[in-house]
Structure 1
Amino acid sequence: MEEYIRELEELDKKYFIHPTSPIQQQQTDGPGFIFVKGEGIYLEDIRGKRVIDGMSSLWNVNIGHGRKEIGKVAMEQMTQLAFNSCFSTYSNEPAIRLAAKLAEIAPGDLSATFFTSGGSESNDTAYKLARHYWILKGLPGKKKIITRTRSYHGVAMGATSATGLKPFRDFTNSLAPDFYYVDNFSPVTLRELIEKEGAETIAAFVAEPVQGAGGVHIAPEQYFNEIREICDENHILFITDEVITGFGRTGTYFGIEHYGVVPDMMCFAKGVTSGYAQLGGVMMSRKMHQDFIELSTGTLLHGYTYSGHAMACSVALKNLEIIERENLIENAKQMGIEMLAGFKQLQSKHSIIGEVRALGLMGAIEIVKNQKTNEHFSAPLAPLIVSEAAKRGLVIRAVVFDDQDKIVFAPPLTINKEEIEQMMTILSDAFLAVEAAQNLTV
């Protein structure tokens, strides 16, 4: 068995370039885990080690791992019709049914969907459609896209350019033009930028209801109401990026519902299939869709090979059925309360824990040198805590961008109170190990 594992590890080093991973570490250490099985909130690696998937893998396995009925639906659809092109108005029933279902569950009058293969494609599509919309409206000068600091919108060229985390933009030396950034929770800075650039040059403002990869930053209660007003006053489209926050993650179907605001366009992916198939999309309001219909004179020259993929859409429909049948959105709300309570208990026991927060099953723990001043350590401790947690059976994630030092969490929506408590026990032990290694006072 060990020889078999070593062979896989060497093949991994030689042939597999891992996404968002330290490339040199991959060559020296090999894969951190080689997972072979998933069940509920747990993953099992090739050596039989079982760990809690405290991140739903990549914020997306909302219904948990190992759902046999999803596999059955996928097999049935693949044997009947796995894929057909949806170009030239060709269609298939799963794509039609899913688009109709999304119109039923989406906020407000969001009603028409353009399908993609994932979140980056969804965001790129939204920017492109927003700019085309203003061309159709006879205002081609409205092309600038405004996003926020600490935002993450993906790694395609437009999505990278929109991302407010500078290291992602620094990765390339040729960003897409006409992207601008404002402070993540300051409507004032948005107003100032609009005044400076001119509303007649701005196509859209883009925001995650809760900033995910940037550190789980939860907006103040009235923030999005002010943003909606500013966008309306200046004839700027408001786009929400629900790639992480959609499909129950925050305790509502979509994150923006916490704020009682309806966007003009909404990007989604991840939780729409809970990771069982690659799928994303962009929804637009009824008014926008009608304008596209009435003002377009030719072909909509945008599309992906797998837009409206029959098998992926079939998986999404079953995934949404499970979310509703098992009342997972309410469970996310209630277990989010339990998770936050657990964070607060840890905070009282460990002096290096600063602010803790959660909205539904999306949470963060700040690591600080001093709880009163929120001063950070000179070198981040979050990666060390994440490593110690993994040794003890919990997979979570560190965020150290923009001088942050924190751990973020997004367990499957199926998690229960006992499993939350198990997470907290592992976390506490991980903190104790790091505190001891760093000679810190507990």
Structure 2
Amino acid sequence: MNEQFVKETRQPEYLRKLDKEHYFHPTTPLKLHQENGPGLIIKEGKGIHVTDVYDDVYIDGVSSLWNVNIGYGRQEMAEAAKQQMMRLSYGSSFFNNSNDQVIQLSEKLAELTPGNLDVSFFTSGGSESNESAFKIVRHYWKLKGRPERTKIIALDLSYHGVTMGATSATGVREFDHMITSSAPGFLHAKPYLTDCEKGDKSQPDYESSIRGIVEKEGPETVAAVILEPIQGVGGINIPPEGYLKAVRELCDEYGIYMIADEVICGFGRTGEMFGVDNWEVVPDLMSVAKGITSGYMQLGAVLLKSELRDELAEMSDDVFFHGFTYSGHPTACAVGLKNLEIIENEKLVQNSKHMGDELLKGLAYLEEQHQVTAKSRTAGLLGAIELYADRDSGKAFDPSLHAAQQVVEECLSRNLLLRPLSFGGMNAVALAPPLIVNKGDIETMIDRLSGAIKAFENKVLK
């Protein structure tokens, strides 16, 4: 191919033109994209930084989609993929086939997960993992002679993915509104009603709690409860102490399966290997993705208790008619193994906890310095700070102002990538940098975010 032609086609404006013509972007305003083209076009990443096609360098303060836990540009990750591709690029796990990499990764995950979550079913990502978890528990109850146990209870403001079942479980209503019909059997409870889940019927929201819904629907119709240990997309919502244990005890009481969606929280993000480890709770099934490969390869999994797998095996001699072409993909599994090795060898879970403390200090500083900031919170390197027109009274900004979006855009102009969270009337800015960050990186992020908030205040405060 002509070298000059290649050079010209890589020019930023030509790339923008091609993007507008040929790329249908996920989770993007389509009209905005068609009018203006793409925002950032990233061409390179190293450590916690990414570089765009204009050679501007940014701190990635949200690990792209909460997933680049070990940072960008790790040579050992590329080498692991290359070596595996040359040895065995792909192998199907259908029809009782296997490969050495998926076996080793299954063993490693059994070592890392809490309790006896010792069995892995592999997928390509988080939506597929949650979808698979729903199918597994419903299949179990059908084999058990209880086919009426199909209902899945999730939480308001939860996010579980974009396949049909995962969308139906998601409690962020904007995702549900774009489809014309939801999958049946999905219900939503108000989150964090700890006393209600313990059985206190005097609470005003009792009927909206998980327990209230179970009692109304009948526990004999409920297959599982799914929740994120810490809600991500819904606002970095950290449950109160005792809540997860109350849900665990409720599920035990009624023989309901508890599914933990660890797609964001897993592999060190919250300062523990898994989010549930912060509260010493062991779910029956656990969905993972994102941090399992730090985004270097598409991979997800459902971890389930060995007793559940054993029961399924005992109850049926038939084929388990569920699986994906890339279930147990050997190259993805090799990359996952190398990623977990890096997380352990570099003590990134511990670093997440320590740097999370620094991040919380930085967010507290922002609350001291700015009039519109409040309710800062972190769990490891998963954090947020909220914006209010009047924080003392809790008065929100007018939704038309898009306050969080404005602050994030100001951050972008300061070469810091963050994410606005505005579901459920919230205006929050999310922070979730790679787990390799140091104190200086945190200070730089806080300084740039402070400048962005100040610029926003100058526009909106009289």
TM bucket normalised to smaller: over 0.9
Determine whether 1:94 maps to 2:101.
yes
- What code does the residue aligned with 2:174 have? P
Map 1:49-64; keep pairs closer than 5 Å: 49-64=56-71
Q: Which residue in the other structure is 1:120 paired with?
A: 127
Unmatched runs of 5 consecutive residues or more in structure 1: none
Q: 1:249 is matched with which residue?
A: 269
For residues 20-419 of structure 1, what are the structure 2 equivalents within 5 Å?
20-187=27-194, 188=196, 189-379=209-399, 380-419=402-441
- Secondary structure at the residue paired with 2:145? coil
The 2-side partners of 1:297 and 1:396 are apart by 50
Residue-by-residue CA offset, 1:152-199 (whole Å, 9 max, x unaligned): 000000000000011110010111000000011124211111110000
Using a 3 Å threshold, how does the CA distance of structure 1 residues 2 and 376 change in structure 2: closer, same or farther? farther
Question: How much has 1:401 moved relative to structure 2?
Answer: 1.1
Q: Distance in 1 between matches of 2:210 and 2:83?
A: 49
Q: What's the CA shift string for 1:68-116, capped at 9, x where partnerless?
A: 1100110110111111111001110110000000000001010000000
Between the aligned partners of 1:24 and 1:218, the Cα distance in structure 2 is 34
135-144 or 410-419, larger mean C-alpha shift: 135-144
In the alignment, residue 281 of structure 1 is paired with which amino acid?
A
Q: Which moved more, 1:428-437 or 1:124-133?
A: 428-437
Equivalents in 2 of 1:207, 1:107: separation in Å?
A: 17
TM-score, normalized by length of structure 2?
Answer: 0.94
Per-residue deviation at 1:371? 1.7
Q: CA deviation at 1:150?
A: 0.6
Question: What letter corresponds to residue 349 of structure 1 in structure 2?
Answer: Q
Name the SS of the counterpart of 2:386 in structure 1: strand
Q: Distance in 2 between matches of 1:92 and 1:282?
A: 18
Supply the AA of the counterpart residue of 2:299: L
Deviation of 1:312 (Å):
0.1
Output the CA distance in 1 between the equivalents of 2:214 and 2:48. 45
Cα–Cα, structure 1 residues 81 and 2, in superposed 2: closer, same or farther, change >3 Å?
closer
Q: Which amino acid aligns with 2:382?
A: M
Q: What amino acid is aligned across from residue 110 of structure 1 in structure 2?
A: L
Q: Distance in 2 between matches of 1:427 and 1:29?
A: 25
- Measure the CA separation in 2 of the matches of 1:431 and 1:397: 14
Write the distance in 1 (CA, Å) between the matches of 2:59 and 2:97.
42
Q: In structure 2, how many angstroms separate the alpha carbons of the residues matched to 1:11 and 1:381? A: 31
2:204 alignment counterpart: none
Post-superposition shift, 1:429? Answer: 0.8
Change beyond 3 A, Cα 1:2–1:27: farther
- What RMSD in Å do the two structures reach over aligned CA positions? 1.0
Identity of aligned residues (%): 47
Larger mean CA deviation between 116-125 and 1-10 belongs to 1-10
- Residue of structure 2 equivalent to 1:432: 454
Q: 2:203: which partner in 1?
A: none
Which residue, 16, 19, 28 being the options, matches 1:12?
Answer: 19
- Give the superposition deviation at 1:430: 0.5
Cα deviation code 1:220-262 (max 9, x no counterpart): 1100111011101111000000000000000000000111110
Rounded Cα–Cα distance in structure 2 between residues aligned with 1:95 and 1:45:
35
Q: 1:22 Cα deviation (Å)?
A: 1.1
Deviations 1:307-360 (A, max 9, x none): 000000000000000000000000000000000100000110100001100000
Rounded Cα–Cα distance in structure 1 between residues aligned with 2:321 and 2:163: 18
What letter is aligned with 1:65? Y
Aligned residues: 440
Contact conserved, 1:252 with 1:329, CA < 8 A, in 2? yes
Inter-partner Cα distance in structure 1 for 2:323 and 2:193: 35
- CA–CA distance in 2 between the matches of 1:44 and 1:147? 38
Structure 2 Cα separation of the partners of residues 83 and 306 of structure 1: 8
Structure 1 Cα separation of the partners of residues 110 and 326 of structure 2: 20
* Contact 1:13 1:30 (C-alpha < 8 Å) held by counterparts: yes
**Which residue identity does 1:434 align to in structure 2?**
F
Q: Distance in 1 between matches of 2:175 and 2:191?
A: 17
Instruction: After TM superposition, give the deviation of residue 2 of structure 1 in Å.
Output: 8.6
Q: Whole-Å Cα distance in 2 between the matches of residues 210 and 296 of structure 1? A: 36
Contact 1:354 1:374 in 2 (8 A): no
Residues of 1 paired with 2:265 and 2:126: CA distance?
A: 12
2:439 is matched by which residue type in structure 1? Answer: K
**Displacement of 1:305:** 0.3
Question: Partners in 1 of 2:368 and 2:150 — Cα distance?
Answer: 49
Distance 1:190 1:431 in 2: 38
How far apart, in 2, do the equivalents of 1:348 and 1:296 lie?
61
1:119, distance to aligned residue in structure 2 (A): 0.2
Secondary structure of the 1:218 match is coil
Query: Helix, strand or coil for the counterpart of 1:9?
Result: helix
C-alpha contact 1:248 1:413 (8 A) present in aligned 2: yes
Cα deviation code 1:370-424 (max 9, x no counterpart):
1211110113310000001011110000011111111111100000000000001
CA distance in 1, matches of 2:92, 2:319: 16
Q: Matches of 2:84 and 2:172 in 1, distance apart?
A: 39
User: Letter of the aligned partner of 2:325 in structure 1?
Assistant: T
